[in-house]
Amino acid sequence: MARYSIELTPAAVRQLRVLPKKVQVRIAARIDALASEPRPAGCVKLRASGDIYRIRAGDCRILYQLKDDILLALVVKVGKREKVYKG
């Protein structure tokens, strides 16, 4: 299976930076794993968002978009569950 490239939107980078270091490390590991397995066990395709998927990393959620034609996983939001789904 081909490896996907991983990119983060500027907003996702900002959201990741404000989280505690320990949480950042956990989330970074989950994001890095998307390169080899873009649809890991436990990922959920969000109904209202079209091609956006969600994976969990402890209490946090990682929302990402898959572009299968160019093998890209674009992380669009990172954060606590109660904040990540808003606007």
Domains and CATH numbers, the chain: 5-84 (3.30.2310.20)
Which tokens hold the place of 40?
A: 């890991």
For the segment 65-76, the average pLDDT, to the nearest whole number, is 95
Q: What pLDDT is stored for residue 1 in this prediction? A: 64
The whole-model pTM stands at: 0.92
Per-residue pLDDT band at 23 (split at 50, 70, 90): very high
For the segment 9-38, the average pLDDT, to the nearest whole number, is 96
Q: What pLDDT is stored for residue 87 in this prediction? A: 63
Per-residue pLDDT band at 47 (split at 50, 70, 90): confident
CB 4, CB 68: distance < 8 Å? no
